[in-house]
A and B are shown apart, each in its own frame.
Chain A
């Protein structure tokens, strides 16, 4: 199937004010015809993907702003309905591509909830270690690109240096740097290799000094402070009513973390703090995420101490395929293996909602089963999507140059916005 797409089809870029009004309705009000209308994106280095913003400018001041999303619409949710529960897992990796582990977790937990099973303790501990590694990895990309947007090039280079280490660990356990699909319903794809624990220990040893390095570059840097302090401030009440989650909410002083309020995977048994800031501006959100990295290290350290040998999958052959070695001696295992990889497992009729604290905020997965091996409906409540909706409020009245700082500070990923 070829649908010709030519430059003549391009009408997205050139809309008149009347057409804009028709297209965006109440989402975009234009106060004065004399103001300048600026289209920012979808090709822009600082919109963190293919986001398009329509900005009404009075001089340099942002008067109004509308988000134009959908440039990365992938049809993930619809596509998942055509796949078995296990196969649909690979689609979740590509939502929030900075923290695929978190997406996997949200989806896998929802499937497990629907099936009514729980992963064994060893799997849970490994999951927590990798989730927190993913959180740090995601924050490193956020910090690097956020600083790059505000013209601090070296932070980007340092952040990506450490991120490579985290990706190496992911590759070690899952065979893939980014799209891991490592967590499976009922446990894990396979056990971690022997090098895993030493690698994490080494990470715990060297990483605190690196966080200190980033902070040394930014924390008291006058340019950084001028670009981030009192920019894009939002009060706690407003942040709640706009549905902000994650560090964007905690930067406004609201104590809300899914790991604490609706614990999953035994997070309630770990000793960690939820960093809070009160100012609600770009700097507060930056500082919140930096402090979160320290807390993630604490959690990883505690999880490492709990890592005991044991099974990594539940002992239910209807959900988890049998180990390879069993296939040679058990007919039962061959049948289970064949059934699982051709047909998949069936989930009962019903619906569940499971949310987790992804690096960006509340990542929720709504899942409806209808007794077949394929989900009847999958829907994701993605934090970036909701956080982005607050951008017109955050950016109103700021300078156009600060808009870049604000977009960076709410840490959006277009993959999970458009999905």
Chain B
């Protein structure tokens, strides 16, 4: 039984536009296929058969920033990679969100040295931090669901102003 039969007798559905848009954004997120280091392997595990991120509407990883709306910074960001990461973020169309996956992306982790950017929030605005070295796939999924929670509460005007 399709939705049109369910709704057929009702004719018109009224709904808050904001909720509807956020619902759409939440459940069809296209993350960028952007692996940096160890965490990228756990991100692949999240995508693969056992954990299956498509249950959360994000089975489609896009290697191109132009087609993605979520950047999962999976791994340590070196000073050489920093400008590249910023450029990728700038290339993503609005609305866009960032998850800092793992300790290195969140705060530098165990690599407190000359080479590693101490937290990717020095370069791009981060929405959700996922702790762990590397975080388990469950932790990443939890981070994604936290982000979805956040998006559900967003205002349409937030992105219109930018």
Binding site for B on A (CB under 8 A): 1-7, 9-13, 42-45, 49-50, 70-76, 78-79, 90-91, 93-94, 97-98, 141, 144-145, 156-158, 160-161, 163-164, 167, 177-179, 414-415, 418
Contact = CB atoms under 8 A, between A and B. Distances in A.
Interface stretch (B9-17, B93-101, B109-117, B151-159): B109-117
Which among A43, A141, A164, A418 has the greatest number of chain B C-beta atoms within 10 A? Answer: A43
A163 to B, nearest CB: 8
Given A74-B37, A90-B110, A158-B49, 12 more contacts: A12-B80, A12-B84, A43-B63, A45-B33, A49-B35, A50-B84, A74-B116, A75-B114, A164-B50, A167-B45, A178-B42, A418-B78
Which among A9, A79, A94 has the greatest number of chain B C-beta atoms within 10 A? Answer: A94
Shortest 10 CB-CB contacts between residues of A and residues of B: A160-B48, A97-B38, A75-B115, A45-B63, A10-B83, A5-B82, A157-B49, A75-B113, A164-B50, A71-B81
Interface in B74-92: 75-76, 78-84, 86-88, 90
Contacts of A74: 37, 76, 78, 111, 113, 115-116
Given A73-B80, A74-B111, A5 B49 contact: no
Which among A6, A9, A72 has the greatest number of chain B C-beta atoms within 10 A? Answer: A72
B30 interface: no
B53 to A, nearest CB: 12
Given A7-B83, A50-B36, A157-B49, A98 B63 contact: no
Secondary structure of the B contact surface, majority rule: loop
Nearest to B32: A43
B60 interface: no
Contacts of B114: 75, 78
A84 to B, nearest CB: 14
B6 to A, nearest CB: 34
Contacts of B90: 7
Contacts of B84: 10, 12-13, 42-43, 50, 71
